[in-house]
Each structure stands twice: as structure tokens, then as C-alpha cells.
Amino acid sequence: MGAPRIADHDPAWADEAESLLERIRAATTDLPGSDAFALDHIGSTSVPGLAAKPIIDLQLLAAELPSAAPLTAAIAPLGLVRAQGSRPDSPGVHADIPRLQTDPDPALHAKLLFHRPEGPAGPEVILHVRRADSPFAAFVLAFRDWLRSDPDHRARYEAVKRDLADRFADAADYDDYTRAKSAFIAEAQRDMGWPG
């Protein structure tokens, strides 16, 4: 499949994300703890002006990681299915890779991942389900806001992403593309002073 192409920023991504977040919230209202769910648009498509793979990344935070079966059933009508990953060690599918200087407790980094392919319903979507106390969940929000705050940060990240997309264009999957972004993200984490 290879790394998806990098597209110029599309303001419609934010509208699509907002619509999906509303639909996910409505679909999960009967799940235990749903009144405390926090839903956010994350990733590159959430940063105005940043070129990105045209994949809408969303995050659902819960006090405790929801049971997989009821959540899977609740959001299946939205076209979201449980993701398995390209490889057994696919990064970010069953657990997040702990960021620098964060608690490595595996329970804090466990996650559920759901996917909707691009099609008639709209663009490709990835839903990351994490615990509210996940250090990675806090990081992705801080990273998003850091990129939103400064055009120089955005330009540097976009250049890295375009270069990596070109380098991994013929890869069988894009796990290597994901891993290769780690160096920039680790540098960004230090620049952000996160965790502060």
C-alpha cells in the first residue's frame, strides 16, 4: 500500500472531523462512562495550513479503556472497524510508544484503534481510543497545539513528512513512515519542553 500521498491542507477536514465527532458521541451514549468521554480532532489534518495525508485522526479519551466489543458494536454503523495493523508490532495499534520522560507503565499506553477506509462515506478515518490519563493522549494534543501556534514549526514538520512520504512511497505498508517521524517528534518534544 505504501505511505499515502501528502496533500495540501483542506479546510473541509475540520468540518468532516466535527461531524464525525458528533456522530461518535451520539453512537456511544449508552456505553459505561460515556458522559466523561472527551473527543478531539488530532493529527496533521487538525492543524490549519499543514499539508497532511488525507486521513482524519480522531481521539476518544475515557476514564478507563472501554471494553472492545461494546464499543466496536456501537461505532460499526459509522463504518469504523477495529484495526489490526500491518504487522504484529505495528506502532500505535494496540499500544502507543511511550514518549520521552513519560511513565512507561503499559496500562497507560494501551489503546484501541478503529479505521474507516476512504470511500463514499468520506475520507479515511482513524479513531484512537485511549485512557484519559494516557501520557501519549496529552502529548498529541500538546503537539497539535504547538504546530498550530507557529508557522515555522508547521513548515519544518511538513518538509519532514513530504520527504518521508517520498522515501517510503513504495513500501508494502507505512509503519516505516510512522517510525521514521519519531526523530522529528522527539526533537519537537524537547523544543516544546514537554512534559513541562
Domains along the chain? 12-192 (3.30.460.10)
At residue 194, the pLDDT reads: 84
> What is d(CA 194, CA 135) in angstroms, rounded to the nearest whole number?
10
> What is d(CA 150, CA 135) in angstroms, rounded to the nearest whole number?
23
pLDDT greater than 80 at residue 75: yes
Identify the bridge partners of residue 84 per DSSP, sorted by sequence position: none
CA-wise closest residue to 168 among 112, 86, 95, 98: 86
pLDDT greater than 70 at residue 187: yes
> Of 9-13, 44-48, 75-79, 118-122, where does mean pLDDT reach its minimum?
118-122
pLDDT single digits (tens) 118-174: 999 899 999 999 999 999 999 999 999 999 999 999 999 999 999 888 888 777 666
Query: What does each C-alpha distance from 122 to 26, 43, 50, 80, 87 come to in angstroms?
Result: 19, 17, 20, 12, 26
pLDDT greater than 50 at residue 1: no
Share of the chain above pLDDT 90, in %: 67
At residue 165, the pLDDT reads: 85
pLDDT single digits (tens) 89-125: 676 788 888 877 788 899 999 999 999 999 998 999 9
With cut-offs at 50, 70 and 90, classify the pLDDT of residue 76.
very high
Q: Are 85 and 117 in contact, with CB atoms under 8 Å apart?
A: no
95-123 burial, b for 16+ CB within 10 Å, e for fewer?
A: bbebbeebeeeeebbebbbbbbeeeeeeb
Q: Are 58 and 40 in contact, with CB atoms under 8 Å apart?
A: yes
